[in-house]
Structure formats: C-alpha cells, structure tokens
Structure 1
C-alpha cells in the first residue's frame, strides 16, 4: 500500500508517540517499525520543488556574505594560495555548471533534513531513497541538458575525436566530456551522506591534515635506483591530460576565495566563506611557527551535476576531458583550441627565440603565473598548469614542437589538404603517440606484469565507462609527487651534471627555460636523474614550500589529504577490500603489504584502522614495483577503462576510419626518446627508454641510431580520400 503525504505524516507522528511507550522495549522492534515507514516513504514533485526553492533562497542569501567579505579578504598576487588557485582555477563553463550542481546539493540536504530526521538509526536507509531521485518534472530539469547530450549520426561518425570529449560513446553523448563529474569506483563517504567530510570511526573529527603530514613525513629522500625523473614528469603530464579539479569561487561575483588572511592567520568566522575548508596549523609546527603561519587555505572543489541527473551525494567537476587525448595541449573546448592555433597549415601557435619554438605568451602573466609584473615571462597552453614546474613547461613545449613538426611534413606531402584537415590529422597522430608512450613505455615502470597483461589485452567495449575515477585523480596519481627531488639536475650532452636548480624557486615561474642551453639540459636531466621512491618521504620543497612565495609555501600532502576528504573518498581500508586485500582490523596485527613500522606510525594518530586516509595508507604500502597494491589496483582499473571505453583509442579498429595497418606500424615505433631527439636543439644521443636509468640494457645511443627508430609519415600521403569516400 502506498501512503499519500497526509497518511505518511500521520504514521510518522504515531511512530514518534509510540517511541515514548517503547522506551526500554526491544530495539529490534523499533528498527522494524522504522523500516516499515521507510518502505512507504513517498517523495513527490512538490517535496522536491519546495526543497529546490529553499536551495535557491539559501544561495541567494550567500550574496550578502560575499559582498561583505570580498573586499576585506582579497587574494594576494604571488602568494601560495594564488599559486594553488592558478592550478585549479575554474573555467567559465565549470562555474556555470557548478552553480547548478550547488542548487541540487542544497536541495538534497534540505530534503534529507525534512524527511529523514526522524529515522535514526535508519537515517542512511532514508537517505538511500532520497538519493538518486530524478529531476524530471521539477524546477531542476533544465540542468539535465549537459548530461543528456544527443549527438547526430554525423557527429558519431566524424573521423576525429571531438575537442571536448563528447560524442565518443553511442547514445551517451556526454560520457567523458569535459566539465562533467568524476566517476566513483566506491560510493562516496560523507558524514551526512551528501557533502560534509567524513568523520572518524568514533564520530570525532579526523586527525588534522598538517599533523598527519608533519608526523609521518621524512624529508630525507630515498632513490628508486631504477627509474628516471622522466617517470614522474610523465605521470604529472598524464594527470593534466586526464583530470583537473575546479576550486570554488564566489557564487555571485566570481571573486576568488581566500580562507586565511594574507599573513597566514585564521579568519574570523564572519569572514569565512561557506566553501572554505582551511587546514589549521598547530602552534608546535616546527616549520610554520617560524613564519607565524596558523592557517593553510583550502577551497572546496566545485560540485558537478550527477551524470544520471538525480539528487544525491556531491560529485566533483573534471575540467579536462576524461580521455587520454592531449587536452592539456589542445584545450578541452573549441574556443580554447581555436586560440591556440595559427589556422595556417594545421599548426599550433608558438613564439620563436633564437630559431627555436616556444609556447605562446600569456597576456596576463600576474594572473597566470606567480610573477611580479605583466612583462614577466608566462606561457599558455591547453592547461593552466603548464607553468607550474620547469619540466612540465618543457614537456608542453616538446609536444607542441612535435605537433608543428608533423604538421609541416604532412602539409608538404599533401598539398591539397586545408588547414583543418592538416590540424586534425596531426592532432590524431600526436594523441596516438601520447597513448602509445603511456601504455608501452611508462606503464611498465609503474605496474607489475600481471596488471600489464590485463591492460594490453583490453579491447574496445562500448559498455565500459571511461570516466576518470575520483580516487585515481585525487589520490593514486597524486602519490607520484613524493618522487620529486628538491634539486633539478641540469645535464650536459656528456651526461655530467653541470649544475642544479632549486625546485621551490621555480613554481609558476617558467622564465628559466629560455636561458641558453637550459631547455635541452632539463630534458637530459629528466632522462638521467634518478627518481625518488613513492613513499612518505617528501622533499621539503613540496612539504613546506609548495607554490612558495619566496618566504614560505604550502604542504602538498596536507592539501591532498584535505582534498580527499572534501571529495568524499572512502577510507584506505575500504579500498583495500575493493582491491582484494585483507582489511586492517587493528594496528598491531600483521598486515600484508604494510610493515609493522608503518602500522605503528598510523596508530599514533588514527584511533581506528577505518579512519586512515587513502593517500596516507597507499603511500605506506610496500611497492610492487613502484606503487603498493592499492594504488596499483586503482591505476590498473583506470588505465583499462581509459583504453576499453575510448572509441577513438589509437589501436581500436572499430572507430571511424581507423588507422591502417601501415600507419599503426609506424606509430608503434614512437618513443619519448624519439620525440626528444626530433625536437630538441642540441641533444645528439639518448637512451632508448628515457623512463629507465642509463645502463647496459638501456645505454646511450646516437639519435639517428636504429635503436631509436623514426616514424615515417609516408602512409599518410594523400590520404584525404579515405575519409570522405
């Protein structure tokens, strides 16, 4: 029997009256009565619309607060928070979608409070009925236009993948598109079931993120002895291809949010924006106490409209496409891509200095970099993180040069191709190169042979969801930052280290790469310098001086812990269970893949094994070969889905006008060593696999050696008819 609204309210009232008489009675009877009520829970369109109306009013009231604080709490240019905001600055499209998702989130919260408050201890069962309620027939229905995109047959059969990731999957036009939410491989874990960060097993707050970082981290870096820093740099490049969070900004003014004052002190509550989730710095903090810093700013990520267009727990926006498609080079929107092109002969824009191409310059250097003046050097690319580290700037420049090198050759052998054809064919080849290097050179350094076998055997399946998982983007890939060294090696052609750069002096300050011989020295250094291991040993330059302003910086691990909680990541134990590992039942019993020393370290700060944050637990696991089993499991899952769920993956023969056998044979010759040799100015030798250290099985060879084969573009000559017949 389905109850109407009045009958339901009467039943709830009777239930509340009965509680008085049932006090002291059998608890199971009370719970069964709860469940009987829940079975008949009826949520009407009026319920949803009234909650949505309430949500609009709440967000409107935020305007008054924002007007009061935006002129009193302003972000200082060049500050650590300015540096972080550059990395995760929301695009206009992300802001617009985030506002709409915020309404849905507030409506979910209001509806939960209205209907589920009386159902303790069955609150979560009530929530499960509210979550995933469709917007259809409500005021929010218009929000579904972005998640239910319908592509035309021409779009589905277009020979080139779209710039924004849309129309890759049949009948699911928005799947994998930029500005849609991350997927979850485990349900989110929020303390209220919607958006408030999870609490400890005993319901107390989780340990302070900075205390966790400061207590567990050893700034003495240990070397891996097998792989080069290029492995780290490609991991960061891959991260920028697949994911980019969006920090929230003020709803009504688009003003940036500052969660600490400019002196690093805590803000008075009346100046604290609701999107703030700052990290308090303990007085006894050895580093920050010297600088009198009490507060590290963290702004919550923009929420995303759920892909099924329903109410429910918060998801977060991914501003990148969910495909490995070079969006960090080409941009994830038509407008951004157009601004990066010359629109002549298929080339990307570049500036030429001493005969070498470099990325185009930013028109707003003090906005896009942590520099002092608008005459300072700052580059632009498809992703705003291009300037964050010198090696990232170099990689962006290298792939831009590779695009223009290929475009020039294709245009010369196909005189009837117009600019668009040349650009798209070149982009298609470059994306194939990036995919081939990632799956055939980089992944073998990261995962074990069993995982690699599963990945290599994966073939396209239209049922597979390719979207980037929140845990992959927020934890597993972020672990690679622990490999960073505070000293950046500059290496001569002889492979002697000529000098070093100090990392913290170059965050968001890319000018160094234009100095004589520095560009090539950074490339050689990336392929020569031995990387650190992935563990809890972070260099001081990222644990205390991340995005530094010359005086002090932030703590990257603290920020990653805080982001994991903001994003509702379940605990480390939950992911152990997902990955087939035995869960930690205590901190004193032996556990596979995590040593007694690390268990004791966890016990000092966490009150229960179920409290441990994913990134902390993952970093403490013993590597196999580079990462522990939990992070390996998350990365394996993502890389399988990124291949199986991408219709335009370079090896898929079911895509429109797939690469021919001859073209694939040439693409499979590609290596990062070949791209370096073809696009650096004075590099004459390289080891065939730049991700492995130089040694007997991977020795330096001349760039024109057969051990670093060249890709021929002959199979692409006069190929236009193949696409239009």
Structure 2
C-alpha cells in the first residue's frame, strides 16, 4: 500500500488546488461528525500474541501486528523495511474468536467494533457511555452544566476539561485536531448557553431536566447542520434525493449502525480535503504577524497553542475565510499527512494514506468493483472503462500499472479518485455509501429531531432557524460571519453581523398550563421534576428524577376528562453501593450510600474533582 501512496496519492504541500465554493470549516465539520458516530478501537496489545515481539520492532505479520511494507528505494524511510500497524480489535465471537462460541466458519468473518454510539447525538460532547457522561458533567450544578476547566479560559469563555492522559481541551476526544477542538468547544459552550437560558425560563426544572433538554437541543442542532447544510454539499442534490430524500418518520426496521464501508473508506474522503496549512486571522480577517500560519504537523497534539496563542477565535476566522482543499485526482493527500503525521507524539512519522489502505485490508473490505455493484453502478472491466469515471488518464495509468485490473483497486482509493457528481464533492460510489448511511442514521433513530413527540411543532420551527453561523456568534468573540459557514466568501462583503444571523427563540420551551383543564397544575415530586406539554388539545406531563434517584411509577401522564390518567410517580434514592458490576469506589475503599449520592471512605491519599465527590488519581479510581 505504501507504493500506492508514493505513486498515486502523495502530493507536495505546494500542490494544493483551492475549493472555490466551500470554506475550510466544511472539512472540520466532516471530521467532527465522523468522531461523533464512529471510532474503531485498535488492539490494546503492542506485541505479537504468538511470541511477544513488539510490533514496532518487527515486520512479521502476526496478530495484532499487520506492518506496511516499505519499498527499498524510499529515501524518506531509508533503513526501514516496514511501517508499524496494529489491527483493529475484533468483535467478540467473530473470525478466529468464533471458536469461543463454536462458530468458526466462513459465514462468521472477523468484524470490528464501533466504540461510539452510531447515532448523530453529540457524543463528542456528552460521551457514549454513562460512565464517560458522568465524568463530563458537573453534577453539583443547579443549572445542569458540563464540567469546565477551572485553570484556563479563552478570553473569559470556559474551556471543557482537559484529559488527564494528553492535555487536550476536547474532553471526550484526545485525538481531536485543532479544528475539531473548535467544534467541540462551541458545542460545549452551546450546551452551557442553552442550559442557563432554559433554567431561566423554566425555573421549576431540576438540573437533570435542564441538562437533558439542553443535550437534546444540541443533538438536534448536530442533526440539522449535518443533514441540511453539510451532506447536500458533499454528495450533491441528485444523490441526496436518490439515497436520502424527504423525512417520513421513524422506521423501526432501519438499522442505524454505522457500516464498516462508511467509516473505513467512504467518509475518509475528507482526508483529501485537508489543507497543509493552519491559518490564524485577526478581527479584520487579516493575517496576524503575532500568530503566523502553521504547518499541520506543528499543531498535532499541541493544544497548548489554544491557550498560549490567541484562543479559538483566530483559528476559527482562518477556517471561515479560507477555502478547503479541493479533492483533485492527482493532488490527494499532502505531505503533512503522508510524511509528517503525528510526528510530535511518536518516535517517527506515519502515513495516513497507507494507514487508510491497510485499514481497509485489515477489515476485509471487498474491492472497488464489488461496491460499485452494491450501489447499482456499472462494473468497470478494463482500462478504458476506468477512464470513463476518472478523467485524469495519467492517474488511471498509474492505477492500472499497480493494480492491473479495476476489480483489484482498494475501495478507498477507487472512490476517492472518481469524478465528482454535479454539485458534489464526491463521486457516485462514495455519494451512494454516504447517502445510504445518512438515511439509516436519520430514519433508524427514534429520537431524530423531526420525529413525532421529540419536539413540539413550535420548537421544531425554532430549531430550523438555527445554524452553525449562529452557534459561532453565540459562543465565540467573533461578530461577523458568513450566513452559511460552509460557503466560501470574501470579507467583508460576503459576511454578516451576528445581529443579522437568525437563531431559535427558546420561548418555545416555556411551559404554559391550561387553567381551564380539569387536571390542573401537575403535581410536583420530591427530588424530581416534570416537563409539561400541551399541543393539539392534548396535555401531557413527563416526570424525571434528579441525579442519584430513580423513578417509581408512570413516567408520562396524560390529561383526560377524568383528570390525570395515573398518579404522579415518586423518586426513590439509588443505592450506588449495591452496584457490583461497576462499583463506584475502589476495592480498598468503603462505599457509604447517601441521599442522592454516595461517599468513598479511603485511607490512601487522594484528590477530589471540582464536584467534591469524583476521585482523581489511582488511589480512588472506580474499578470498571
């Protein structure tokens, strides 16, 4: 695969064609959404299972090592016979692991794990597991807020907490790029803004209710921006209508799982749109001599630049005012990605293109023609056939020289070099795969923002007003933005002041009780809360409990001609100390249940987090 990178994919940093339609932030949004819906964990072992050799030191293909062969005439990697590569962790019971369940057959191939929720649900901000979510929340806040960094601020705006392992300001994703951290912070800031505003207009809501409703709104904004503003630009209007179409409601037969072909190949098209330069601009959208441009490798795993070098705003202006890199057939991945990837955090550099190709082979993805047939596209049999979908014949000659037959082409490469569809930034194969996946994510999600009873009609109307540009206005110090953040424009003529960027009115979340109803005001519950909804002549109240309590009784009550159809539930204390699967305290500590919480009594030295309860350090880390 490294030979494919060298001869077909690699381009110099200077060989960049600018996209004349879209700004650099469209690339960032794609990466951000990818990290919301898919993460394939690698094997945790760094040595071969058979004889314990380190994968960094051997070129033998023994699990989990799957090294990438390097050609002898590669001067950049002189003295190296291979690049290290670790296989993705197999799903339990698949492939060779099927023997554990008596299912070792060709019909049970090795499959991989998605470490995240497949849904578009802002898991980048809130986590994908209850344990992660609890670490990200400020459980003592009366406003339902997330935890924030108490040491560093961005021009008086709050950062999310840094991770302990790598000082990354994106609390959930330590692998985030600079651009993704911006999106992550804006989403976290939007949660804070919404939570405080919701608490202000619905004073009786508990912190738990405020948090959950703010989270639901942020998730809805992710869905709206992605399906309305982002995906049509990527796959084009024709493919959008063909593969996604209008929303007709939740489909319980639709499988929303993120497919292997989507995460391992199709959505990695975005790697060919990454600029080699990170630009930082001042308030007038001009180059700032104090904040010079940086090569991409200079910001890998360097979040300190956010704190020490101007914060988020200069980076965000650079993304808004400069174009994305156009995915050109003979200018695919620049040298920042093929020669200098992760150079600040590893002993040597890596090659993203080779990693992508090898990952597809690791996952056993069928070849290019197999996926074209899957999408109902013509199978390409000859060099002449290949020329019909790739107009740069120099590229097709190089491909055929290495692969000999179109059916042998790795699907990531084949999809990457196809001619764009009209109004798109992908060819027909990737447009098909991305479109099918987005339809599955939308129609297979019972909590999709447009589905019945997720939001009221008034709330949906307000949500549709919102945009990424409005989120930028509300959560940064930037006052002038494009109406569509993804659309490339010139400053100042194509930018608008934030006063002229529409946004949602949260008064749609205000609760107004129907005085004339026989049911009257809903009954409040101790250590709990309710949300009242009256629409189309039907009134309902949905109860929830504060953190540390669980509901006993009916969650939702409906007003009938005889009053509420059920008695109000109660909230009872959860005894966290009885949780044997995920004990809240370390084995050496004694767990004591308290009302709505618990205490860990420990003799070893330890440190408490900002909430006064969560332990920090090895002495009192919860066992999992």
| TM-score using structure 2 length | 0.74
Contact 2:47/2:55 (8 A) holds in 1: no
Contact 2:375/2:429 (8 A) holds in 1: yes
User: Over residues 238-287 of structure 1, what are the superposed CA-to-partner deviations in whole Å (9 max), with x where a residue is unaligned?
Assistant: 10011000101239999xx98543xxxx5275xx7521101121121132
Structure 2: runs of 5+ lacking an equivalent: 512-529, 534-541, 544-556, 558-624
Q: Distance in 1 between matches of 2:386 and 2:175?
A: 41
The corresponding residue for 2:173 is: 383
Q: Distance in 2 between matches of 1:416 and 1:648?
A: 25
The corresponding residue for 1:232 is: 27
What are the residue-to-residue correspondences of 1:454-465 with 2, within 5 Å? 454=242, 455-459=244-248, 460-465=250-255
Q: Distance in 2 between matches of 1:259 and 1:431?
A: 42
The corresponding residue for 1:621 is: 418
Q: 1:507 to 1:573 in 2, by over 3 A?
A: same
Q: 1:319 to 1:226 in 2, by over 3 A?
A: same
The corresponding residue for 2:324 is: 531
* Residue from 690, 698, 701 that aligns with 2:496: 701
- Alpha-carbon shift at residue 563 of structure 1 (Å): 0.3
**632-641 vs 244-253, which moves further:** 244-253
User: Over residues 75-106 of structure 1, what are the superposed CA-to-partner deviations in whole Å (9 max), with x where a residue is unaligned?
Assistant: xxxxxxxxxxxxxxxxxxxxxxxxxxxxxxxx
Q: Distance in 2 between matches of 1:520 and 1:383?
A: 20
The answer as to 2:307 corresponding to 1:508 is: no
User: Over residues 292-325 of structure 1, what are the superposed CA-to-partner deviations in whole Å (9 max), with x where a residue is unaligned?
Assistant: 3332111111111479996510110000111111
Moved over 4 A (4+): 251-254, 257-260, 306-311, 695-698
More helix by share: 1
Contact 2:38/2:115 (8 A) holds in 1: yes
Q: Distance in 1 between matches of 2:168 and 2:435?
A: 35
The corresponding residue for 2:435 is: 636
Residue 407 of structure 1 aligns to a residue whose secondary structure is helix
- Aligned length, in residue pairs: 488
Q: For CA contacts below 8 A with separation 6 or more, give which structure has more relative contact order.
A: 1
Q: Distance in 2 between matches of 1:380 and 1:339?
A: 13
Residue 233 of structure 2 aligns to a residue whose secondary structure is helix
The corresponding residue for 2:7 is: 215
The corresponding residue for 1:397 is: 185
Contact 2:59/2:81 (8 A) holds in 1: no
Q: Distance in 2 between matches of 1:580 and 1:697?
A: 45
The corresponding residue for 1:607 is: 404
Residue 523 of structure 1 aligns to a residue whose secondary structure is helix
User: Over residues 372-428 of structure 1, what are the superposed CA-to-partner deviations in whole Å (9 max), with x where a residue is unaligned?
Assistant: xxxxx4335233323xx2111111111111101100111122221111111100000
**430-439 vs 511-520, which moves further:** 511-520
The corresponding residue for 1:193 is: none
Q: Distance in 1 between matches of 2:350 and 2:374?
A: 32
| TM-score using structure 1 length | 0.64
Q: Distance in 1 between matches of 2:109 and 2:4?
A: 27
The answer as to 2:97 corresponding to 1:298 is: no
What are the residue-to-residue correspondences of 1:320-719 with 2, within 5 Å? 320-343=116-139, 344=141, 345-352=143-150, 353=153, 354-365=155-166, 377-386=167-176, 389-454=177-242, 455-459=244-248, 460-498=250-288, 499-535=292-328, 536-549=331-344, 552-589=348-385, 591-595=387-391, 596-624=393-421, 625-653=424-452, 657-681=453-477, 683-694=478-489, 699-705=494-500, 708-718=501-511
Q: Distance in 2 between matches of 1:259 and 1:211?
A: 24
RMSD: 2.4
Structure 1: runs of 5+ lacking an equivalent: 1-208, 366-376
- Alpha-carbon shift at residue 429 of structure 1 (Å): 0.4
**581-590 vs 299-308, which moves further:** 299-308
- Alpha-carbon shift at residue 516 of structure 1 (Å): 4.8
Q: 1:721 to 1:449 in 2, by over 3 A?
A: same
